[in-house]
Structures are given as C-alpha cells and as structure tokens.
Chain A
C-alpha cells in the first residue's frame, strides 16, 4: 500500500487565521473534557438519588426510579441525542424556542443538548450501580442502624452510602471512562469535539492514519490516566477489613 506518511501534518497551517492543525486538536480536547465532566456531574448527582430511590421501602419512589432506568438505559444514545437536540426545542414555548435556536450561540445550544443527553443517559447506569452497592451490604446494617435510633436519612448518610460508594468505585470509574468516549456523539450535532476535529483534519489533510492515530492516543492517555487516578483513590479510601482487602 503506497501510503504517503507525514507526521509533520499536525504542524501545517489550517488556512484559517494562523492556526495549525494541532490547535484544532487542543480545542477539540477542551470540548470533549468539558462535555464529559459536566455530563458526569449531572450523572453522578442524579444517578445517586435514583439509586437510593430504588432501595427505598416506599414502593412508588422505587418504581419511578425503575421506570427512569428502564427508559434511559434501553434507548440508544444517539436516538436520545437527536431527541434532545432536534425535538425538545420544538416542544418549547415559542419565545424560548427562538432563544434556544437563534440567540444562544450554536455551540452553546449543542453543548446544552449533549450534556443533558449524556448526563441523563449515564445517570441511569450510575443509579443501577449505586443500588447494587447499597444492596451488597448486609441487611443487618440497616436493622442495626434503625435499632440504635438513626433516622433513615442518617442511616443512608452515615452507614450505607459511605460503604456503598467505596464498593462501586471500579464500575463508576468505567462509567466515567464511558462518558468520555460517549461524548464523541457531540460531533454528530455540530460540536467540534476531539472526534469532530479529527475527522475534519483527516478530511483536509488526507493524512488519515496519522490523524486518527493521534486521536486514539489522546483518548487512550486521558482514560488511562483517569483509571490510574481512580485506582489510587480506591486504595486510599479503602476501609481495612472490608471487601476482602488486605487491610493495606
């Protein structure tokens, strides 16, 4: 295959102002991180609330959470994105719709849509993990907590959640890595995230392999770095004697 390799392509001018292609990758990476982190904040907050709801004795709260999880976990992410971006604005009252579509900059309106979409989608998954974490604890802890006179809020705040979150750090880490990777759907509604900038650079330079290699490396390094960080967090918050750990 006579491919013309050129690793210097990232330092070539893009033809827009004085930018080089590397600038596009940096700006794309910025968007990717902004989307993933904001989406994650929503997912973690909402997911925790929903996860707790699923373990409550009040059947109707548990059912609301169960329905939420079923809906958001079973509809493809892309379909959800098009729903938030193309359909929801049309359902808003006219002044709000005009504001969202025309006054808000296109980048901002796409950002809002994709962050809501990813946040709500990932919340369903986080909810399931938080629930599993709570349910993994021995039933006796609930009884003991109530017996010593803790209210239910105190029971969750001081006994159940601190342990449950420790148990589910590894799957939550996976979810965060997923949201970074899933953030690439933003490129489909015109946000110039890392993937969009990669595709665009590939299209302009015709150096497809170099360009996608760099993007792969960037995603890999971010995710790997975060994984290492979370391993450390997991170790430092580990309670000696719990989870079959060595008590390190």
Chain B
C-alpha cells in the first residue's frame, strides 16, 4: 500500500517533468489553446460596425473580421487546421475580468487602449482610431464645443467623452447640463427626443447612430475632435508569444492593403442587419495607424 503510493508519486513526478518538455516552446495562451483545442474570441452585441450580431445571432463586424484573421494565424502557428474558434459575448463591464480569468483569449471589439487598462491587460497594435466629436441636428446652430454653453448635452456614461465633457464644463465654466445615458442607443434617443441638443461620442459610433436615425440627412457630425483614442484587441498581460502572433497577423492585414477592403466593407457600404451605410471615410489618423501600427495608447 505504502509502496504503491510511492510509485504513484514517482510516476506523477516523471509525467510532470516530461509533459512540458514535449511542448517546451509553448507557454501562456498559445499553450492553453493547443491543450484545449479551442480559441475563445470575445465579441460585443451592439458595437456597430465593430462587433455586433447579425439576424442569425452570428458575431460580425470590422473587429470580428480582424479577430478571424488572427485566428487563421493561430491555426497556422500551432499547425492545428481544425482548431475550434468559439465566441464569448462580453460587455464593457465584463470584458477585462473575462480576459484576465481565461474565459476569453482575445477580445476585439471597440475597446480603447489606455494606461489604466494596461495595468490589467495587454493590447495588440491598434485596430482603429477615433476622435471624440458631436452629433447634432443640422438646424441646431451647434458648430463646435463652444456653442454648447448653457445647453443640455448627452454622452454615454463611463466613456472618455463623459469625462472630457465634465472636465470641460468645470474648467471653462460652460454651465452645460450633462446627461449620461446608459448606452449609445439611449444617448441618441435623448438627442432625437429633444432632451439634448448634442451628443458627444467617438466619431465612428456617431456615424453609426446617424445611420440608424429615422432621417439621417437631418443630422451632422461636427466639432474639433477633443481627444483621439486607439482601439485595440485585449489579451492577457505578460504573454509575449501570443501577443506576437496577434500583432503579426494584424500587421500583415495592414501591410497587404487587405484592411482597406475591410474598411470599405464596414464603413463605406451598407452593413447588416438593416443595410445601413455609415459613409464614414477613413481619417488621416487611421491611415497613419495602419501605416505604422503601434500598441501605445493615443494622446
């Protein structure tokens, strides 16, 4: 009995030393993917046109296409053509913990790369750059942020825009009434129903909301951008091997010019589910990002 236990212990020890030796080059996420045979991608439900659901509840969007390019690269890297790619829905509150605890391996959606988040997770090279601007009625007379003094302005709670707007209100004593809605759809509803004259948000998202409006022609995106932010794909910290695979895959898409076709597909053509066209031309900043990819936070 006693002896058997010892043999077992020894056998376990031997097994433990042998297993890592067989895949010595793999660590972290790549090892996890190899062992489980599955890559889990995080997706959003309504970040149009970055990551959202089509009518069949399938994740689609610009960021989803990029994530799939990364998945192809992972398959090649691990020589696992039959690797399973699974999607896991995340929200703005769950995305960081789910990446950290290993539920999600890679989250490509509309997540801003900033220094606070870099404490918790790592980011790929940027996949998009936005500027924070205003959406308003063409007839409202609002041309720039200075015109907002004393008015009701809406933004989405928890966004950089909300913080910038509050800071602007205090610093420049603008006496704005700031409404913080729970999501972009509700912010736009506040704007459309007349509770606010302008909606401050990431330009790409404003174009998305405008496309959804009853009559898009009544609206305009305006104002000098108050900040620039890079979106990136989130992955676990301190995992250089996986980060390299992700970055290389993205850089290849940028370098080959494939990214231009993807951009045209999602920002300059009708997109599901309603066939809306965002008509959002590629900014000079974004062209610069694709030419010189970086994983630094913007500004």
Beta-carbon contact of B162 and A200 below 8 Å: yes
Interface string of B231-274 (1 = CB under 8 A from A): 00000111000000000000000000000000000000000000
The answer to whether B157 and A3 touch across the interface, beta carbons within 8 angstroms, is no
The residues in A between 22 and 78 inclusive whose CB is less than 8 angstroms from any CB of B are: none
**A3→B180 contact, CB < 8 A:** no
Contacts of A206 in B (CB 8 A): 96, 116-117, 119-120
Binary flags per residue of B89-116, CB closer than 8 Å to A gives 1, else 0: 0001100110011100000000000001
B167 at the interface (CB under 8 A from A): yes
Residue with the highest number of chain B CB atoms closer than 10 Å, among A101, A106, A190, A209: A190
Binary CB contact string for chain A from 116 to 134 against chain B (1 if under 8 A, 0 otherwise): 0000000000000000000
Q: B95 CB to closest chain A CB, in angstroms?
A: 10
Q: Are B100 and A200 in contact (CB under 8 A)?
A: no
Assess whether A16 is interfacial by the CB under 8 Å rule. yes
Given A1-B100, A2-B237, A196-B157, decide whether A16 and B93 contact each other with a Cβ distance below 8 A. Answer: no
Does residue A187 face the partner (Cβ distance < 8 Å to B)? yes
B interface size (C-beta, 8 A): 38
Closest to A187 in B: B182
- Residue from the list A3, A190, A199 in contact with B120, Cβ < 8 A: A3
Bound: A209/B194 CA distance, A? 37
Q: By the criterion CB–CB under 8 Å, are B166 and A16 in contact?
A: yes
Q: Considering residues B97, B117, B157, B166, which has the most beta carbons from chain A within 10 angstroms of its beta carbon?
A: B157
In the bound complex, residues from chain A placing their C-beta under 8 Å from that of B159 are 203
CA distance A122 to B100 in the complex (A): 40
Chain B residues with CB under 8 A of A105: 177
Q: Which residue of A is nearest B162, CB measured?
A: A200
Asked if B93 and A202 make an inter-chain contact with CB atoms under 8 angstroms apart, the answer reads yes
Knowing A2-B100, A190-B179, A192-B180 touch, does A101 contact B170 (C-beta < 8 A)? no
Docked complex Cα distance between A16 and B160 (Å): 12
B182 engages A204 (CB within 8 Å): no
CA distance A31 to B3 in the complex (A): 68
- Once A190-B157, A208-B97 are accepted as A-B contacts, the answer to whether A16 and B163 lie under 8 Å apart by CB is yes
A188 to B180, CA, bound (A): 9
CB closest residue in chain B, given A109:
B195
Is A213 interfacial (CB 8 A cutoff)? no
Among A205-234, those with CB < 8 Å from B are 205-209
Task: Find chain A residues with CB under 8 A from B189 CB.
Answer: 86
> Min CB distance, A101 to chain B, in Å?
5
Residues of B within 8 A of A95 (CB): none
Q: Please, how many residues of chain A have a CB less than 8 angstroms from a CB on the other chain?
A: 35
Any A CB within 8 A of the CB of B201 = no
Q: Is A246 among interface residues, defined by CB-CB distance under 8 A? A: no
Complex contacts, B171 vs chain A, CB 8 Å = 17
B37 at interface (Cβ–Cβ under 8 A)? no
Determine the distance from Cα of A119 to Cα of B171 in the docked complex, in whole angstroms. 38
> Chain A residues with Cβ under 8 A from B163's Cβ?
14-16, 204
Closest A residue by C-beta to B99? A1
> Does B152 touch A at the CB level, under 8 Å?
yes
| Residues in chain A near residue B179, CB distance under 8 A | 106, 110, 190
Which B residues are CB-close (under 8 A) to A196?
Answer: 157, 180
With a cutoff of 8 Å between Cβ atoms, the chain A residues found around residue B177 in the complex are 105-107
State the B residues within 8 Å of A (CB). 92-93, 96-97, 100-102, 116-117, 119-120, 152, 154, 157-159, 162-163, 166-167, 170-171, 177-182, 186, 189-190, 193-196, 236-238
Binding site for B on A (CB under 8 A): 1-4, 6, 14-17, 86, 90, 98, 101-102, 105-107, 109-110, 187-190, 192, 196, 199-200, 202-209
The contact sample of 10 A-B pairs, CB cut-off 8 A, is A1-B100, A1-B102, A2-B100, A3-B100, A110-B179, A190-B154, A200-B158, A202-B93, A206-B117, A209-B97
Leading 9 A-B pairs by shortest Cβ distance: A203-B158, A106-B179, A17-B170, A16-B166, A206-B116, A206-B117, A4-B119, A1-B101, A200-B158
Other 15 A-B pairs with CB < 8 A, given A3-B100, A17-B167: A1-B100, A3-B120, A15-B163, A86-B189, A102-B194, A189-B181, A190-B154, A190-B179, A190-B181, A190-B190, A196-B180, A199-B157, A200-B157, A203-B158, A206-B96
